[in-house]
Every structure is written in C-alpha cells, then in structure tokens.
C-alpha cells in the first residue's frame, strides 16, 4: 500500500515531536503493509516555523535512520496545503508544494466552511498544470451537510482523499456516515492515514480503513484506493475522476500517461 498523506516528520506541526516517535510510526506503517509514505507537513506550519530546505534535510535524515534500521520504507515529500485565496501564489513562491516528482497537490478545506473562492483557486492551480486532491472532505461541515458540494469539485477534475480512521468511526458517527456516503457516491479516489501519532485514532494505519471501505464498495475498489490510484499519482499519470468512477467495478483499470 501507499500512504499519500502523513504527518510523520518530527517537530514541524501537530505530528510527532521526536525522531524516535517518527520511526515508531514508520514501523507501524510498514508492519501494516505500507511500502511508500508521502510525508506531508502542514504548509502553514512549515512557513511559520521552519523552511522547505530544513524539511528536505529532515526527510534525508529519516531515510538514513530507516536504512540503519533496515526498514525498506520509501519516504517522499509533499505538503498538506491550506486552500487559501493566494494558494496559487504560494506555489509560485515555493511555500505550497505538490507531492514530490508529480503535479498532484494536496489541499485542505477549512473544517467549518466552504470558501467562496474555492473553485477559482482550484481553476488557477489547474491552469498551472497541477491536479488538486481534496483531503479529508468528510470532515468539512458544508460537505457533511451536502455531499453534492464535493461532487461539484470532482466534476471539475479534483480528486478526493478520505482518512482511513474516518471510515472506521474514530472521528465519530457523523464523520463515519459521511465517509460511507461519499464512498457510495463514487466521490472517493484515495484512502490515506493522515497519520499524526503512533497511538490513538491518528495512527499511520491503512488496513482497517480499507477493510471498512470494502464493506461499502467492495474489496477491489477499496484496494485500488491505496494501491493502484496512489501508484498512478506517484507516477504522475493524469487521472480523470469520471473515468475512475466508470472503472470502479472493474478488477483492474488501465493507466495512461
């Protein structure tokens, strides 16, 4: 499996505070079957407390620690970028970055609201050649009230990523209900851990979420969200959300560059 959203880097945001905690998260993820993790600190925290060069150095340090411990876990760098009016300008300045080596960019909507500028910002990013991925939409209040809000973004080319523990109910019944509804509607393309800690409901664990999703959409479709689709993203294959929806019932689907 591949985990495209994980806050495993220490001391940057609300993730682990030490490298030892980070390594414990890596161990748990590997034992769960994850072979590639994209480390995605909050862009706002990096801008305020650190720098991109320092974050890259931290990734290199983590890779070295994993080699020393013979943990063959691949770590890439991305960022969880807040969707703000000037996000396209932040990309130009290197303050908001896509997933390493790709044109895919993680975007977080504010939990309580749906900004009026959302579609304009997504359009500007797409004009720049970037492919938006809306992270944990199940925790956004307007989408919880009306999943059609997310459907509108998907129709415009955005992908959507559910948090594994949302599907299992770790964030409450309402979030679990919405997660299942988004799955049923074919509005989910990726499952990620959004891991923050080695304990509690923010562990870097995918398997339980995949199993919960399988009870809604079937095993093949749920596995596709942690294997095939994330792999295509890391290969920078341009994915069409509508094509993914049409292929959702197939055991395999073609990847095209």
pTM of the model: 0.94
Burial, 80: exposed, middle or buried (Cβ in 10 Å; 0-12, 13-18, 19+)?
A: buried
Asked if residue 254 belongs to a domain, the reply is no
Q: 247 pLDDT band (50/70/90 cuts)?
A: low
Rounded-to-integer distance, Cα 88 and Cα 75, Å? 26
Asked if residue 181 belongs to a domain, the reply is yes
Rounded-to-integer distance, Cα 207 and Cα 222, Å? 10
Structural domains in the chain (count): 1
Residue carrying the six token digits 């790709």:
102
Q: 248 pLDDT band (50/70/90 cuts)?
A: low
Residue 113 domain boundaries: 2-246
Taking CA atoms, 33 is separated from 126, 217, 219, in Å, by 33, 21, 16
CA 26 from centroid of its chain's CA atoms: 16
CATH number of the domain that residue 71 is part of: 3.20.20.140
173-194 pLDDT, tens digit each: 999 999 999 999 999 999 999 9
Asked if residue 186 belongs to a domain, the reply is yes
Residue pair 1/227 in contact by the 8 Å Cβ criterion: yes
Residue 200 pLDDT: 83
75-110 pLDDT, tens digit each: 999 999 999 999 999 999 999 999 999 999 999 999
Asked if residue 253 belongs to a domain, the reply is no
Residue pair 158/132 in contact by the 8 Å Cβ criterion: yes
Asked if residue 23 belongs to a domain, the reply is yes
Average pLDDT of span 214-234: 97
């Amino acid at each position: 499996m591949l985990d495209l959203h994980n806050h495993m880097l220490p001391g940057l945001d609300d993730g682990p505070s030490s490298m030892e905690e980070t390594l414990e998260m890596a161990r748990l993820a590997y034992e769960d079957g994850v072979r590639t993790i994209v480390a995605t600190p909050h862009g706002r925290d990096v801008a305020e407390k650190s720098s991109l060069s320092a974050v890259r150095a931290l990734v290199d340090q983590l890779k070295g620690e994993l080699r020393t411990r013979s943990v063959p876990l691949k770590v890439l760098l991305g960022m969880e970028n807040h969707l703000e009016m000037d996000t396209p300008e932040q990309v130009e300045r290197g303050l908001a970055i896509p997933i390493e080596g790709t044109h895919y960019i993680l975007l977080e909507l504010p939990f309580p609201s749906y900004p009026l500028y959302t579609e304009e910002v997504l359009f500007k990013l797409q004009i720049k050649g970037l492919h938006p991925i809306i992270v944990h939409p199940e925790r956004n209040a307007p989408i919880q009230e009306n999943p059609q809000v997310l459907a509108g973004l998907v129709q415009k080319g955005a992908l959507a990523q559910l948090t594994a523990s949302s599907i299992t109910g770790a964030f409450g019944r309402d979030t679990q209900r919405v997660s299942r509804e988004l799955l049923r509607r074919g509005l989910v393309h990726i499952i990620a851990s959004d891991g923050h800690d080695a304990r509690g409901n923010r562990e870097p664990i995918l398997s339980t979420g995949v199993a919960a999703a399988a009870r809604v959409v079937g095993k093949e479709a749920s596995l596709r969200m942690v294997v095939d689709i994330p792999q295509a993203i890391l290969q920078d294959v341009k994915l069409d959300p509508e094509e993914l929806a049409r292929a959702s019932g197939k055991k395999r689907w073609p990847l095209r560059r």
